[in-house]
Amino acid sequence: MKKLIKFTVILGVMACTFGSLLAQNTVSKTGSSTGTVVTPITLTWEQPLAFGQIVPSNTDGTACIGVTGLSVPSSDKINETPVCVNCTALSTSEPNAYGGNKFPGPAVFEVTGQKNWHFAITLPANTVVCHLIDLNPGGAPDLLVSSFTAVVGSPGVVGTHGTLSVGIGIMDFAVGGTLTVPANATPGRYQGAFSVSVNYD
Amino acid sequence: MKNSIKSLVVMAIIAIAGTTFAQSTGNSASATGTANATIVCPISLTAGTITFGTFVSPAAATTVSLDNAGVATYGAGTNPGSQGGAHSASTWNVTGQGGWTYNLTDDATRAFTISDGAGHTMTGNANAPSGSNPRTLAGDGCNGTGSFTQGGTVNVGAGQVSGTYSTGNSGGSGWSETVTYN
């Protein structure tokens, strides 16, 4: 009988324990989540990389539109005469029989997106060139553009990083480059395209 | 309370959408720009020569002049009469982009020295060129042309030694004119 009582006590303890565990199965919890909406980044081309009117010489040369020292105010245009080596860049306008740009200057792009977010610019690599095609009948050898460089904002910062600090999230940047001017290059208008991209970084 | 619940539901959906969007195309963008250049025909200039012709060595220093049309004015004692041969102002030719304008510049004195190559010289000055800036190249494409003329005055010494004098001889020197697209 003494042994039987002991056994009953043990069972009672076990029963209480099981009862408590069954009671926890009715408790519920509420999960939560958060998220932040950001404005997508966009890139708009505003102004061509224009080397203007170049007079070649009888020696191979280059015409460079640099960006050092430039400021790029939002939605502004920049005029800059290229620095010529073995060629001459005409700085003033003339009626142009080939319809070229009157005023030389760097390309300008506008970036929009989330206010104060920063971004990186990807330029055509130095080893990639932009072929310019003579639009005149008869054609001519292509000219090439290489060594693209960028300057961001105003005051301008040379490089490939910027912050969307203007207005609701805007920043402009300029892109310069170097045009090859072969000796005695065929007169005419040359044009080509190049791609630039930006991404939040 | 009912409105409050609706708001919460909407916000949750936006949060999910935003998270997805930021990881896709919205975090990068690209654009294509153009590059252009215009190669223009080089401008060139071919120099002219003032030809004073033949004249007589004077007893006293004087001058012989040609206007820009080549009409001569002889100082005392130099007139060769009908035996002086041809004389003419210089004609300079310009070629370049037809329809474009250019300016002509020089050092304003346009001084020259002509020499017989044997130590005898005469100095002088070319006239200001005919026409005025800006000047226009007539024609199309690279076949644009222009020209101007220039006479001058040469100083002839008393008893100037006879001979053929030229800027091209040893001891001689010319002057420069420069054309530049505007």
Structural domains of chain A, ranges and CATH numbers in brackets: 39-200 (2.60.40)
Task: Among B36, B137, B140, pick the best mutation site for testing chain A contact (most A Cβ within 10 A).
Answer: B36
User: Do B34 and A191 lie within an 8 Å CB cutoff?
Assistant: yes
Task: Please state whether the peptide bond connecting residue B134 to the residue before it is cis, i.e. omega within 30 degrees of 0.
Answer: yes
Residue A92 binned pLDDT confidence (cut-offs 50, 70, 90): low
pLDDT in tens, B123-148: 999 999 999 999 999 998 788 999 99
Q: Residue A7: helix, strand or coil by DSSP?
A: helix
Tokens 């200039």 -> residue: B45
Question: What is the least distance, in Å, from the CA of B95 to any CA of chain A?
Answer: 13
pLDDT in tens, B8-45: 232 322 222 222 222 235 889 999 888 888 888 888 99
Query: Of B19, B33, B97, which is closest to A175 when you measure between CB atoms?
Result: B33
Tokens 């000796």 -> residue: A183
Question: Cβ contacts (< 8 Å) between A48 and chain B: which residues?
Answer: 33-36
* B37 in contact with A, Cβ within 8 Å: yes
Predicted local distance difference test score (pLDDT) of residue A36: 75
Task: Please state whether the peptide bond connecting residue A155 to the residue before it is cis, i.e. omega within 30 degrees of 0.
Answer: yes
Judge whether residue A4 has pLDDT over 80: no
User: Do B182 and A177 lie within an 8 Å CB cutoff?
Assistant: no
Strand A107-112, strand A170-181: pairing:
antiparallel
* B27 in contact with A, Cβ within 8 Å: yes
- Specify the amino acid at residue B131: G
Predicted local distance difference test score (pLDDT) of residue B34: 83
Q: What is the ipTM of this complex?
A: 0.75
* B35 in contact with A, Cβ within 8 Å: yes
Query: Of B17, B21, B42, which is closest to A40 when you measure between CB atoms?
Result: B21
Judge whether residue A100 has pLDDT over 80: no
User: Do A37 and B14 lie within an 8 Å CB cutoff?
Assistant: yes
On the 0-12 / 13-18 / 19+ scale of CB atoms within 10 A, A55 is buried
User: Rounded to two decimals, what is the model's pTM?
Assistant: 0.66
Q: What average pLDDT does this structure show over B116-121? A: 95
* B24 in contact with A, Cβ within 8 Å: no
Question: Which tokens hold the place of B171?
Answer: 């001891």
Question: What is the least distance, in Å, from the CA of B179 to any CA of chain A?
Answer: 13
Question: Cβ contacts (< 8 Å) between B16 and chain A: which residues?
Answer: 33, 35
Predicted local distance difference test score (pLDDT) of residue A128: 65
Q: Which of A18-27, A112-121, A137-146, B61-70 has the lowest mean pLDDT?
A: A18-27
Predicted local distance difference test score (pLDDT) of residue A191: 83
Judge whether residue A23 has pLDDT over 60: no
User: Do A53 and B38 lie within an 8 Å CB cutoff?
Assistant: yes
Question: Cβ contacts (< 8 Å) between A62 and chain B: which residues?
Answer: none
Predicted local distance difference test score (pLDDT) of residue A91: 66
Question: Which tokens hold the place of A50?
Answer: 């224009």
Question: Cβ contacts (< 8 Å) between B43 and chain A: which residues?
Answer: 55
Distances (CA, A) of A143 to A98, A187, A189, B43: 16, 11, 10, 21
Residue A99 binned pLDDT confidence (cut-offs 50, 70, 90): low
